[in-house]
Amino acid sequence: MQSVTSATVVATTALANDITLFASLELSKSKWVVTINSPGSEKFSKHVVEGGDGARLLDLLSRSRAKAEERYGVRVKAIVIQEAGLDGFWIHRLLLANGIESQVVDAASIAVDRRHRRAKTDSIDGETLLRTLMAWARGERRVCSMVRAPSREDEDRRRLTRERGTLLKERIQHTNRVRGLLSGQGVQDYDPLRRDRFERLEALRTGDGRDLPPMLKEEIRRELDRIALVTTQLAVVERARDALIRMDAEERNNPAALLLKLKGLGPEFASLLWLESLFRSFGNRRQVAAYGGLAPSPWQSGGVERDQGISKSGNRRLRKTMIELAWFWLRHQPDSALSRWFHARVGAAKGRIRRIAIVALARKLLVALWRYVTQGVVPEGAVFKAASPDR
């Protein structure tokens, strides 16, 4: 029997891996830990690149791939993995632009040691990422969940709805602060969002009939100035959002324009559903529900079975919006099949049962709206808005 040399074993292993160089990135502001597995090698090499230095990263990967190609005399494919996080997708796009395959993984989907006290370092995390990528490349798709990076255009467009959410939250904070300051003086009926808020502030009296303290009044004026600025910016963002919907609708029937035809869906709901989810392509309804974080999470061990509720692993903005939209759907589409299903399921129950059922309705509604904009299947019993007089 012929002896098999180590070089033959290495070459065979390399061919089994399709001559692929695998690399993982453990990212932080100060440094990037790059872990590399060259074709035919069982060892992992670790390198440190200064955080944010994309050129150095590309140079490192280029040199590692050149060594592998020189060794085997064939072209070597490079695959890099990184976790989705604060760095966004610019590194992912940089790698793709330079001919390097890039994968972005949902960090929460990676299996880790379940011991309470487990060792955790950038080096260990880099090796874990790399092993996960190698298993995923072999076809073991359940080892993790890869994130589908949006295009630059899609990512930029959805900033409108996200900025609106941030501004709305900021306005609520300023409004609550004004009300809290006045509540401490016995004033309960002041609305900081009214147009005459500055005039009414001058006429306010404390609970014991005195004028507002001068320092407090000045502080409230500054809060009202902030509210006025945020309100102005909100109006600008909403006009830009509406213009985007109209402009895109003129070119083709985009999801937002189709959704706006349904009663109960306004520009904010329609644009958020479009920009956060319906611009993507999904293979089936399970993928749609999973992306919204509305898929159920069963727990079973032996004879023990229980429901853990929804996974909450998808797009949190979409999930929050769909639950809110589900309540609106019950109000504005009471005769639809989904609304009838909800009332038949819940009946006169209140509290927890009703809250659980509304999440189930949100999942069904998201799938129904996806089918509507992609396949033209109108939700059963749904009512369209009346045509405007100028049409």
Taking every pair of Cα atoms in the chain, the longest distance, rounded to a whole number of angstroms, is: 106
Q: For 25, list phi and psi in degrees, rounded to 5.
A: -120, 120
The total number of residues written for the chain in this structure: 391
pLDDT of 330 above 80: yes
- Rounded to whole angstroms, what are the CA distances from 330 to 97, 372, 376? 47, 18, 22
What sign for the dihedral angle of Cα 271, 291, 154, 110?
positive
Q: pLDDT confidence of 4, banded at 50, 70, 90? A: very low
Residue type, position 347, single letter: G
Tell me what pLDDT residue 215 has: 95
286: helix, strand or coil:
helix
Residue type, position 275, single letter: L
Q: Is 148 exposed, middle or buried (0-12, 13-18, 19+ CB in 10 A)?
A: exposed
Q: How far apart are CA 220 and CA 223, in angstroms?
A: 5
Q: pLDDT for 105-120, tens place per residue?
A: 998 888 888 888 888 8
Instruction: Compare 313 and 159 and report the one with higher pLDDT.
Output: 159
The 8-class DSSP code of residue 151 comes to P
Predicted structure pTM score: 0.79
Classify domain 6-149 at the CATH class level.
alpha beta
Tell me what pLDDT residue 304 has: 83
Q: pLDDT for 207-233, tens place per residue?
A: 999 999 999 999 999 999 999 999 999
Q: pLDDT for 233-267, tens place per residue?
A: 999 999 999 888 887 665 566 788 899 999 999 99
Could you tell me the two tokens for 256? Answer: 């937002």
> Apex CA 138: angle with CA 135 and CA 143, to 5°?
35
Tell me what pLDDT residue 14 has: 40
The four Cα atoms 170, 172, 173, 177 give a dihedral, to 10 degrees, of: 140
Tell me what pLDDT residue 248 has: 66
pLDDT of 389 above 70: no
Domain boundaries, the chain: 6-149, 156-251, 255-375
Q: Alpha helices, DSSP H only, in the chain?
A: 6-16, 54-72, 90-97, 122-137, 152-157, 159-183, 197-203, 214-251, 255-259, 267-273, 285-291, 316-332, 337-346, 352-375
Could you identify the residue written with the tokens 């955790």?
Answer: 120
pLDDT of 276 above 80: yes
pLDDT of 5 above 50: no
- Pick from 11-15, 63-67, 305-309: least confident: 11-15
What sign for the dihedral angle of Cα 384, 386, 390, 391?
positive
Could you identify the residue written with the tokens 């959410």?
Answer: 165
Mean pLDDT of all residues in 310-330: 90
Tell me what pLDDT residue 42 has: 87
Tell me what pLDDT residue 1 has: 40
